[in-house]
Chain A
Amino acid sequence: MINDSVLVVIAASAISYGTPLLFAALGELLAERSGVLNLGVEGMMLMGAVTGFWAVQTVGGPGWVSLITAVVVAALAGAGTSLIHAFLTITLRASQIVSGLALTIFAGASGLSSYIGHVANLGGKPARHEFDALNVLGLRDAPVIGPILFHQNALTYVSWTLVALTLFYLYRTRPGLHLRAVGESPGTADAMGVNVTAYRYIHVMIGGALAGIGGAFFSLAITPSWLDGMTSGAGWIAIALVIFAFWRPELALVGAYLFGAFSSLAFTLQARQVHLPPEVFASLPYLMTIVVLVLVSTGWARRRLGAPAALGVPYVREER
């Protein structure tokens, strides 16, 4: 059957393993569009993973209530964690690099997320409910497109909606315009009457919330359980993905699935007797990001496609 052919299998798993990257990358993209680089994505994802799993184990009621609550809790945990970064970098104007790294160390593997998992005794138990793949419109078994487009879980369809919403927000709304202004030239935005601090706080926290949901995707969909450091580097790939996607939501979607495909490609090929070390595929997202970084380093590309001009720079009104 054609749905068992290697390309269909790779495409379908690219979407399921790319979805957490897409959530986290969309969030980071919004934060960076406001001029704040947050390297704490991995830590925020793990906070989302652990709190989301805790919620699904604790909140009673039908499965869908418990799962929706878990996603909300994960988003709040991610946003809460990002608030530390927002306070340090926006209010106290600390180095965004140092603060973001500290956030990943503090909240990440063998940090706060592990501690919560330990104290709440979450390890070694299957999730009470999980996000199963849906059979959308009954088209699950349709040739080729069935397994790829109509046999994913609910969060994947949510992520597609989010890409569309983010595109609309960035390019078709006034707050989106303000956001881009804050990221490119906070001084000008401030002069226009835009509250730079508020915009940055809000978008760093939206970034945290989406990273939290991306993390919960691991503990509620990929391997429905809690394990220390279970996102195993997805947060870093998401950060690379934002650069790879030139800070554009539609390209983040493409990149997420490309990077998602790499994560399982080694095994799919190995099962078909094509032997390539998994490390090759594990390093591909970073290699491709480096190539993109080189490509966008030309002056023209940087103006047309590059990072928001004020990315990484604290905004100080007096210095305007």
Chain B
Amino acid sequence: MKKSAAFVLTLVAALGLGACGTSNTSSGSSSTPSVIKAAWVYVGPITDHGWTQAHDEGRKYVEQQLGSAVQTTYKENVPEGPQVAQVIEDLIRDGNKIIFGTSFGFQDAFYSEAQKHPDIKFEQATGFKTAANMGEYFGAAEDADYLTGMALGAASKKGKIGFVAPFPIPEVIREINAVTLGAQTTHPGATVQVVWTNTWFDPTKEKQAAQSLLSLGVDAIGQGQDSPATGDAAKAVGVPWSGYDSDQSSYAPDIWLTGTVYHWGPYYAKRVKAALDGSWKMDNYYGSIADGMIGLAPFGKSVPAAIQSQITAKMDAIKGGTFYEFTGPLKDQTGSTHVPAGTKLTLNDLFSMDWFVQGVIGSPKGS
């Protein structure tokens, strides 16, 4: 008797966790009738100090810009799997008319839901599948990565830079290439050594990977990871550090250089407004520094003024279209010319990039 009571208690305790899922709604105002409901589906927590947090700041920007004309909702920590369709169905039932998905792994669920609900607008970040009511969006982070590389190169005395990288996929490979090319402008001959973590977000692994590079004597370190753990490792040995996704300077202000950041807000506001006034059209949008989707985090105090103005000048050149980092001649790791002089890599080249430029130490195929 006692035993079965205990068993029931244990089961109840085990099931209790089901209640801890999170979802939040906040509203500008609900009184006005011409209100659109917009929803975001996130893969991580809104406090990750990286990718998801940047998107959520975009959502808040929409509320700020559209005020009482919009009601926003988000679902965080949604795993890439069968739950995505369920989450979308719930959001539609709640009356959301435009739904944003911010992880590559949501793509298939978004696509099939878009087929089922032609009256709902879908938007999916970092993917490639589109439909009449489903658009894609991403940004040219590589431009800002190049500028970050300039800061890293200038900070490195020996020209030995480390880079903690998530997955060997084109998005990350072009990031590493851009960082390396940027570093070589401020420190000719600089090398960038890569360690793959095979995770977007696992602070312990990221820190271990950073430590492995620091123990080799790299004297500047960058990252393509979503957490600031690399900075934590760099702080212990006083090595300059560049971040990613969001301004992470508060974690280690003394060694912080800069980092690529995303400003999703203006794009989100534009798209929600378009959905509200009926002008929304499917688009495959690739944002840039010029339109403000991509930016550079504020410089840390360890970046000298001369370097800051050099980087800012280059940023203006990128904005103005007079400079593009992936213009030939570009050599690969073996030293042979991969991109002939004058040739500019196309968006297709960037999206299928599987080779490292000269100066990168490590394999573009991963560990």
Across the interface, do A267 and B7 meet the contact criterion of CB distance under 8 Å? no
B202's partner among A110, A232, A266, A275 (CB-CB below 8 A) is A232
- A104 to chain B minimum Cβ distance, whole angstroms, is 9
| Bound CA span A90–B203, Å | 37
Across the interface, do A4 and B203 meet the contact criterion of CB distance under 8 Å? no
Interface residues in A, total, Cβ within 8 A: 54
Minimum CB distance partner of A88 in chain B: B6
B367's partner among A105, A115, A222, A277 (CB-CB below 8 A) is A277
Task: Please tell me if A13 contacts chain B, counting CB pairs below 8 Å.
Answer: yes
Which of A23-31, A58-66, A95-103, A293-301 lies at the interface?
A95-103
- B336 to chain A minimum Cβ distance, whole angstroms, is 21
Task: Please tell me if B68 contacts chain A, counting CB pairs below 8 Å.
Answer: no
Across the interface, do B13 and A106 meet the contact criterion of CB distance under 8 Å? yes
| Bound CA span A278–B367, Å | 8
Q: In the complex, which residues of chain A have a beta carbon less than 8 angstroms from the beta carbon of B211?
A: 13, 264, 267
- A316 to chain B minimum Cβ distance, whole angstroms, is 10
Contact flags (1/0) for B111-124 with A, using CB distance below 8 Å? Answer: 00000000000000
Q: In the complex, which residues of chain A have a beta carbon less than 8 angstroms from the beta carbon of B228?
A: 126, 225
- A46 to chain B minimum Cβ distance, whole angstroms, is 12
Across the interface, do A102 and B13 meet the contact criterion of CB distance under 8 Å? yes
A-B pairs with CB below 8 Å: how many?
140
Which residues of chain B from 16 to 63 have any CB-CB distance to chain A below 8 Å in the complex?
Answer: 16-17, 20-22, 45-49, 53
| Bound CA span A101–B10, Å | 9
Q: In the complex, which residues of chain B have a beta carbon less than 8 angstroms from the beta carbon of A225?
A: 203, 228
| Bound CA span A232–B204, Å | 9
Task: Please tell me if A272 contacts chain B, counting CB pairs below 8 Å.
Answer: yes
Q: In the complex, which residues of chain B have a beta carbon less than 8 angstroms from the beta carbon of A41?
A: none
- A174 to chain B minimum Cβ distance, whole angstroms, is 32
Task: Please tell me if A195 contacts chain B, counting CB pairs below 8 Å.
Answer: no
Across the interface, do B13 and A276 meet the contact criterion of CB distance under 8 Å? no
Task: Please tell me if B347 contacts chain A, counting CB pairs below 8 Å.
Answer: no
- B7 to chain A minimum Cβ distance, whole angstroms, is 6
Across the interface, do B20 and A124 meet the contact criterion of CB distance under 8 Å? no
Task: Please tell me if B2 contacts chain A, counting CB pairs below 8 Å.
Answer: yes
Across the interface, do B209 and A267 meet the contact criterion of CB distance under 8 Å? yes
Across the interface, do A222 and B250 meet the contact criterion of CB distance under 8 Å? no
Task: Please tell me if A57 contacts chain B, counting CB pairs below 8 Å.
Answer: no
Known: A223-B207, A228-B77, A267-B209. A94 touches B14 (CB 8 A): no
Task: Please tell me if A9 contacts chain B, counting CB pairs below 8 Å.
Answer: yes
Q: In the complex, which residues of chain B have a beta carbon less than 8 angstroms from the beta carbon of A54?
A: none
12 contacts between A and B (CB under 8 A): A4-B215, A84-B13, A92-B9, A93-B3, A99-B10, A102-B14, A111-B16, A112-B20, A118-B22, A123-B46, A124-B45, A263-B204
B residues whose Cβ falls under 8 Å from a Cβ of A = 2-3, 5-7, 9-11, 13-14, 16-17, 20-22, 45-49, 53, 77, 162, 193, 195-198, 202-205, 207-209, 211-213, 215-217, 227-229, 232, 236, 250-251, 361, 363, 367
